[in-house]
Amino acid sequence: MGWLKKLFTDRRQPPAERQVYATPWDAIQAFIHDPRWNVTILEEGTGWCRVEYDGIIGELIDDPGGEWLQVRFRDPFTEKQAQNELDMYVGWTHHCAQHTLFRWDIDEARQEYVGDAFALLKDQFNAAECIWAAFNSARLLTHESNQLCLGRSFSSLVQGKKRGGGVIISLWDWLESSLAPPGTTIEHSSYHENSYWMGSTIGSAKTEQWAYYAVLRFSAPDFMPYMQRSEDDQLRLYRMHLGIQRWFPRIRNFIILTPDRPETNGMQETSMAILASSGTNLDQIIDRCVREAYEAVREITEWFHFDFNETSAPWFDHTVKKPQTGYTRDFKPRGMPELPETSGVY
């Protein structure tokens, strides 16, 4: 009956007016000191604190640039993942695919998966609600369900148009409006997922677990044949994709594992989550996130055609690439991504 109590005891009744915070740290302080949330501070340092909310432990991290809220959660390896590197990477991929709000990394030193949720502070109706949302999604790491009361129906705006149904509805509206990058057109549309031509690539967005976030995804099949080879070949690709992800602070880059669906098994996904509080005007938030994701895809694509070559990756069949005659590079050259001997960077 505990979940019924949560449904009828709403700690998230929204304020009557928009809550504006000057910095991410101000929003963090508002969350942890608001008696409605009943947050327990476990440890606190400069620009960082570890707290417990509703039985879930997370870390709240300030952004020196003053732009992004960051909420971090940790999930320990299983015994099998701790003892076998391939199992560790398979677990990383499953975290990326199943807990889609978060950007997942690996902390080998602590034998943990590290998941970060990000929310752009500017224009949020109530940024503290984004922190609550991250904790709500993190419950699925340790609980079978997260039946927490949303407090009110979710709404958001694009070009002044108020819509219910979640961030995904506003993302679709944005991608089909004059705000989208020039030339963006619908490639496919269904009840749950839309895809769009964006330049020479396709971005897709589908409904997620909760209304408060959406994910813009780009995928590529370039490495699919190599994921069907030996364990050493698979490990090389896992390490490479994690290394590429670390080039970008908020981008997700991983290998999709769908053994029952050969048409997608082994594809590369590059994606970014868009997290928002209800009542938010999403014009600028979506613009920032879409451009950040699209620029990452462009840089990875450029790296693939120029720096990922016969010298740096002799194991790959480079004859499958399309010629890039006359192309002028927009990004600095990069070598092959390298991981430290231990990935204990967290």
Closest C-alpha among 107, 115, 103, 116 to residue 88: 107
Taking the CA of residue 295 as centre, how many other CA atoms within 13 Å lie in the half-sphere pointing to its CB? 13
pLDDT tens sequence across 234-244? 999 999 999 99
- Res 146: pLDDT: 65
**Sequence-ordered strand ranges (E) for 184-230:** 185-189, 193-198, 201-206, 213-220
pLDDT on residue 258: 86
What single letter denotes the amino acid at residue 253? N
User: Which residues, at least 6 apart from 276, have a Cβ–Cβ distance to it below 8 Å?
Assistant: 119, 124, 125, 130, 156, 167, 212, 213, 282, 285
265's tokens: 């098994």
Question: In 102-167, at which residue ranges do the beta strands (DSSP E only) sit?
Answer: 103-107, 112-120, 155-158, 161-164
- pLDDT band of residue 17 (cuts 50, 70, 90) is confident
Six-digit token pair at 306?
A: 């120029």
User: Cβ(246)–Cβ(236) under 8 Å?
Assistant: no
When pLDDT is averaged across residues 312-336 and rounded to a whole number, the result is: 92
Domains of the chain and any CATH numbers: 19-309 (3.30.1460.10)
What is the pLDDT at residue 10? Answer: 44
Q: What is the mean pLDDT of residues 148-164?
A: 79
- Tell me the average pLDDT across 330-344: 79
What is the pTM for the complete model shown? 0.92
Per DSSP bridges, beta strands 68-76 and 112-120 are: antiparallel
Query: DSSP assignment, residue 14?
Result: P
β-pairing, 103-107 vs 68-76, is unpaired
Mean pLDDT check: name the lowest of 51-65, 86-100, 195-209, 327-341.
Answer: 327-341
Q: What is the DSSP letter of 230?
A: -
